[in-house]
C-alpha cells in the first residue's frame, strides 16, 4: 500500500511527496506543514506517530494490526495533533460499517458471522477491516473466519441470520488501488483539520463523493 500510494502521489499535481521511508530508511524528522502518511507495520506506525508528535505535524495512518496500547497512544496524540486513522480506506467498506452501526440494537437479535479473505503475505489475522466490522455490529472476535491464499486483495462477507432469513453483505476489492484512491480522497479532506481523532466515518459525513 505504501509503495502504491507513493506512486500515485508522485503523479498527482495536488501533492508534493517530500520523502518516502521503509524499515531500512526510517523516518526521523518532518518539516512544518508536512503530513506524515503511514502504511507500514505496528512498529513503523509507532515510530511515525512519535515523529509526528515531536514535530507537531498531522498524522494519517491506515496501518493494521496495531495493539490496544498503540491505540491509546494514538488517542493521546490526537489531543495535540490532527490524527486520521482507519484500517480500511475503501468507501464501500465504510458504508457497510455505517449501516451496521446505525442498526446496532436491531442486530443484537441476529446471529452474525464474518468471513475475510486476503493474500497469503498479509501479516495480521483477522484483518483490521474484519475487526472494524465486528465492532460496528457487536460481533465477537471468535465469529471472524480468516482465509489467506494467493494474491487476493481483500474480500469481506458479513452474514446475518434470524428466524428463517439471511442477510448478506459482501465487499470485494478488485485491486489495492481501491484503498489507495480512498486514502487520497481522505488525505485531501483531512489536510488543514484541527487537532483531534478522525476516521473514514468523519470523512464520509463531510465529503461529497
Structural fold of domain 2-88+177-206: Rossmann fold (3.40.50)
* Backbone CA torsion sign across 141, 142, 144, 148: positive
103-150 per-position pLDDT tens digit: 999 999 999 999 999 999 998 999 999 999 999 999 999 999 999 999
Instruction: Quickly state the pLDDT bin for 87 (edges 50, 70, 90).
Output: very high
Residue 120: what pLDDT?
Answer: 95
Q: Are 119 and 149 in contact (CB under 8 A)?
A: yes
153-201 per-position pLDDT tens digit: 899 999 999 999 999 999 999 988 999 999 999 999 999 999 999 999 9
Minimal CA–CA distance to 93: which of 183, 191, 11? 183
The C-alpha atoms of residue 93 and residue 83 are separated, in whole angstroms, by 20
Residue 109: what pLDDT?
Answer: 97
Residue 208: what pLDDT?
Answer: 61
Q: How far apart are the first and last CA of the chain?
A: 22
Mean pLDDT of 67-94: 96
Place of cell 471468535: 142
CB atoms within 10 A of CB 174: 8
Minimal CA–CA distance to 59: which of 74, 44, 69, 70? 74
Q: What is the CATH number of domain 91-172?
A: 3.30.360.10
For residues 178, 179, 181 and 184, what is the CA-based torsion angle, rounded to 10 degrees?
170
Question: What cell does 109 get?
Answer: 437479535
Minimal CA–CA distance to 205: which of 73, 54, 47, 94? 94
pTM of the predicted protein model = 0.89
Same fold for the domain at 2-88+177-206 and the one at 91-172?
A: no
Instruction: Quickly state the pLDDT bin for 209 (edges 50, 70, 90).
Output: low
In three-state secondary structure terms, 35 is strand
Q: Are 61 and 24 in contact (CB under 8 A)?
A: no
Percent of the chain with pLDDT over 70: 99
Minimal CA–CA distance to 83: which of 184, 187, 180? 187
47-80 per-position pLDDT tens digit: 999 999 999 999 999 999 999 999 999 999 999 9
Q: Are 181 and 151 in contact (CB under 8 A)?
A: no
Q: Provide the residue ranges of all domains of the chain, joining segments of one domain with +.
A: 2-88+177-206, 91-172
* Backbone CA torsion sign across 148, 174, 86, 100: negative
Mean pLDDT of 27-42: 94
Q: Return the active site residues.
A: 118, 122
Amino acid at each position: 500500500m505504501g509503495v502504491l500510494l507513493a506512486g500515485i502521489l508522485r503523479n498527482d499535481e495536488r501533492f508534493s511527496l517530500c520523502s518516502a521511508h521503509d524499515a531500512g530508511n526510517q523516518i526521523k524528522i518532518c518539516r512544518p506543514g508536512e503530513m506524515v502518511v503511514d502504511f507500514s507495520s505496528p512498529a513503523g506506525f509507532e515510530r511515525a506517530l512519535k515523529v509526528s508528535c515531536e514535530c507537531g505535524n498531522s498524522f494519517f495512518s491506515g496501518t493494521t494490526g496495531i495493539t490496544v496500547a498503540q491505540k491509546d497512544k494514538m488517542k493521546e496524540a490526537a489531543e495535540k495533533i490532527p490524527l486520521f486513522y482507519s484500517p480500511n480506506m475503501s468507501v464501500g467498506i465504510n458504508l457497510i460499517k455505517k449501516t451496521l452501526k446505525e442498526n446496532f440494537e436491531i442486530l443484537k437479535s441476529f446471529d452474525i458471522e464474518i468471513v475475510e479473505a486476503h493474500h497469503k503475505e498479509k501479516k495480521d489475522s483477522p484483518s483490521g477491516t474484519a475487526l472494524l466490522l465486528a465492532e460496528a455490529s457487536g460481533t465477537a472476535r471468535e465469529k471472524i473466519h480468516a482465509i489467506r491464499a494467493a494474491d487476493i486483495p481483500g474480500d469481506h462477507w458479513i452474514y446475518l441470520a434470524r428466524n428463517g432469513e439471511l442477510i448478506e453483505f459482501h465487499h470485494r476489492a478488485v485491486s489495492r488501488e481501491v484503498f489507495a484512491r480512498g486514502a487520497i480522497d481522505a488525505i485531501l479532506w483531512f489536510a488543514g483539520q484541527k487537532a483531534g481523532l478522525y476516521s473514514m466515518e468523519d470523512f464520509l459525513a463531510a465529503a461529497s463523493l
